[in-house]
């Protein structure tokens, strides 16, 4: 079957929308680090609309920091790919044209640094996931002993990490007398703009203090809250889409209808008019981000670990399991919701109801295994900050404790049938060791996990209320199994 590309665009079925603008006349204004499915289904969709509206100087150069896979998918397609919006009523396809170039950093770091330093580049955005920041998730400090950071300190002109790449681009702009680009973190981290700023300054301080002073004075780091559920695309998805397009698309992305982007309005050299495509430009992103991290991502992690252990492959299947669906609701109503300082005018009840419906979306095959990945990097902001606030208020944490017990049981590496779990996490060996060394004793296992300072700060780790609640939940999971413990917890909390 022929590939989707500029030459075959005209052969698409008439009902599939496609870029109606002259892509060849567009120039790159944004370099995006981490061109995975999420970026292609989120920021690139907003940019596609702005290009269509005539803002021609905001096309995207996407960069992969590790594998050439996305470049190999998109290069033969001239950067074109399908956004497949999948909901209860079916799937709508649309071809996106905002990505006009894809680079692979490890193949040619110089090409990427040069792109970052080009005068037309005014924004450098990132979706590199939590672990891509090379920081300690519990404290937020830069990991100076991270192999990529060590490399970037020695070879700042041929960087590997996202931080090193941004710094190299900024260094070259400063040397050339150019204004900086605006670094725009689009990852699920608390205070993502300030976090990125702190880490970049720490890295700059280590080998170029004058650059650090320039960044402090000249570079804004707006915070963002990003939201759209975008599961990894499968071969079955690609085959289904090819059958509808009549063209093969190796770069297609599958996503839900929901789309939200809240951005702090602080840019060094302008930005596309994203607000005309539905983005919210605000002065303070923090309440939006907290609401999303604690309710959406917190529930997601809870459902992923407990759902996986109950034998469910996807979040939709987990939501079809009555007690687990109920537990997500109780988690939001009783434990996470009350800790939030809500954004102005937000409707908490409506937001939670929408989340339940979004998780249950039968059009998405979002694997529990995918969300379970990198828990050590995710849980501090998704569950542990909530637990800290609850404990400070003297409030109970039964559901949070059960979610943490599920994570510990999962990262132990065997499911309830004794089958190996492929645990993906930068700390996987440490987590497996904490589980194994407890020798089946819940309190010992929990004590082993609480010693992992990358995840648990000393205040939380030393709070006996946390240790006791998680030990009690884990005891249930180990003795009775996850499904029975979920039911017992609900009975205890709700009668």
Instruction: Confirm if 95 and 12 have CB atoms less than 8 A apart.
Output: yes
Compute how many other C-beta atoms are within 10 angstroms of the C-beta atom of residue 457. Answer: 16
Residue 122 vs 300, nearer CB to ligand CS2: 300
State the minimum distance, in angstroms, from the CB of residue 296 to ligand CS2. 6
Which residues lie below 8 Å from residue 382, measured CB to CB, with a gap of 6+?
A: 293, 294, 297, 298, 300, 301
Residue 23 vs 358, nearer CB to ligand CS2: 358
Instruction: Confirm if 48 and 218 have CB atoms less than 8 A apart.
Output: no
Residue whose C-beta lies closest to ligand CS2: 300
297 in contact with ligand CS2 (CB under 6 A): yes
State the minimum distance, in angstroms, from the CB of residue 286 to ligand CS2. 17
376 in contact with ligand CS2 (CB under 6 A): no
Q: Compute the distance between CA of residue 324 and CA of residue 310 in angstroms, rounded to an integer.
A: 9
Q: Which stretch binds ligand CS2 (CB under 6 A): 60-68, 176-184, 292-300, 485-493?
A: 292-300
For the sheet with 182-185, list strands across it. Answer: 99-104, 59-64, 28-33, 123-126, 182-185
Between the alpha carbon of residue 429 and those of residues 78, 98, 376, 420, 440, the distances in Å are 41, 40, 12, 14, 17
Q: Which stretch binds ligand CS2 (CB under 6 A): 5-13, 131-139, 153-161, 227-235?
A: 227-235
Distance of CA 345 to the CA centre of its chain: 25
Site for ligand CS2 in 174-193 (CB under 6 A): 188
Phi/psi of residue 440, nearest 5 degrees: 85, -5
300 in contact with ligand CS2 (CB under 6 A): yes
State the minimum distance, in angstroms, from the CB of residue 254 to ligand CS2. 12
Q: Compute the distance between CA of residue 411 and CA of residue 414 in angstroms, rounded to an integer.
A: 8
State the minimum distance, in angstroms, from the CB of residue 188 to ligand CS2. 5
State the minimum distance, in angstroms, from the CB of residue 346 to ligand CS2. 16
Site for ligand CS2 in 68-87 (CB under 6 A): none
Q: Compute the distance between CA of residue 166 and CA of residue 133 in angstroms, rounded to an integer.
A: 12
Instruction: Confirm if 385 and 294 have CB atoms less than 8 A apart.
Output: yes
State the minimum distance, in angstroms, from the CB of residue 378 to ligand CS2. 6
227 in contact with ligand CS2 (CB under 6 A): yes
361 in contact with ligand CS2 (CB under 6 A): no
197 in contact with ligand CS2 (CB under 6 A): no
Q: Which stretch binds ligand CS2 (CB under 6 A): 137-145, 263-271, 295-303, 429-437?
A: 295-303
Interface residues toward ligand CS2, by CB under 6 A: 188, 227-229, 296-297, 300, 370-371, 378
């Amino acid at each position: 079957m022929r590939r989707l590309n500029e030459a075959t665009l005209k052969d698409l079925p008439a009902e599939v929308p496609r870029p109606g603008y002259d892509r060849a006349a567009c120039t790159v204004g944004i370099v995006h680090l981490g061109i995975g499915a999420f970026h292609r289904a989120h920021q690139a969709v907003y940019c596609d609309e702005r290009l269509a509206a005539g803002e021609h100087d905001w096309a995207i150069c996407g960069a992969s920091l590790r594998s050439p896979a996305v470049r190999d998918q998109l290069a033969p397609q001239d950067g074109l790919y399908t956004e497949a919006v999948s909901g209860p009523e079916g799937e709508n396809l649309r071809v996106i044209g905002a990505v006009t170039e894809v680079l692979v950093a490890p193949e040619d770091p110089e090409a990427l640094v040069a792109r970052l330093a080009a005068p037309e580049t005014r924004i450098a955005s990132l979706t590199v996931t939590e672990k891509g920041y090379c920081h300690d998730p519990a404290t937020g400090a830069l990991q100076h002993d991270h192999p990529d950071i060590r490399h970037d300190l020695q070879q700042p002109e041929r960087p590997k990490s996202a931080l090193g790449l941004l710094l190299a681009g900024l260094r070259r702009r400063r040397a050339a007398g150019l204004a900086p680009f605006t670094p725009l973190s689009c990852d699920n981290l608390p205070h993502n703009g300030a976090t990125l700023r702190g880490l970049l300054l720490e890295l700059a301080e280590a080998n170029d203090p004058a650059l650090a002073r320039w960044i402090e004075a000249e570079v804004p780091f707006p915070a963002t809250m990003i939201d759209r559920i975008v599961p990894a695309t499968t071969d079955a998805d690609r085959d289904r889409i090819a059958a509808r397009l009549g063209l093969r698309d190796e770069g297609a992305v599958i996503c839900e209808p929901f789309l939200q982007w809240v951005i702090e309005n602080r840019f060094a050299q302008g930005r596309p008019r994203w607000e005309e495509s539905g983005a919210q430009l605000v002065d303070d992103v923090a309440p939006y981000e907290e609401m999303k991290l604690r309710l959406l991502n917190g529930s997601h992690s809870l459902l992923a670990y407990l759902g996986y252990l109950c034998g469910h492959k996807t979040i939709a299947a987990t939501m079809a399991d009555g007690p687990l669906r109920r537990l997500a609701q109780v988690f939001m109503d009783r434990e996470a919701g009350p800790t939030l300082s809500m954004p102005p005018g937000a409707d908490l009840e409506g937001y939670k109801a929408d989340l339940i419906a979004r998780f249950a979306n039968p059009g998405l095959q979002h694997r529990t295994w995918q969300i379970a990945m990198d828990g050590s990097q995710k849980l501090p902001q998704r569950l542990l900050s909530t637990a800290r606030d609850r404990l400070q208020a003297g409030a109970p944490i039964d559901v949070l404790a059960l979610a943490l017990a599920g994570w510990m049981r999962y990262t132990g590496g065997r499911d309830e049938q004794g089958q190996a779990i492929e645990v993906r996490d930068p700390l996987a060996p440490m987590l497996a060791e904490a589980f194994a060394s407890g020798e089946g004793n819940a309190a010992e296992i929990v004590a082993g996990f609480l010693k992992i300072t990358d995840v648990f700060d000393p205040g939380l780790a030393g709070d006996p209320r946390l240790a006791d609640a998680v030990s009690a939940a884990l005891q249930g999971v180990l003795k009775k199994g996850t499904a029975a413990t979920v039911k017992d917890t609900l009975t205890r909390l709700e009668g």
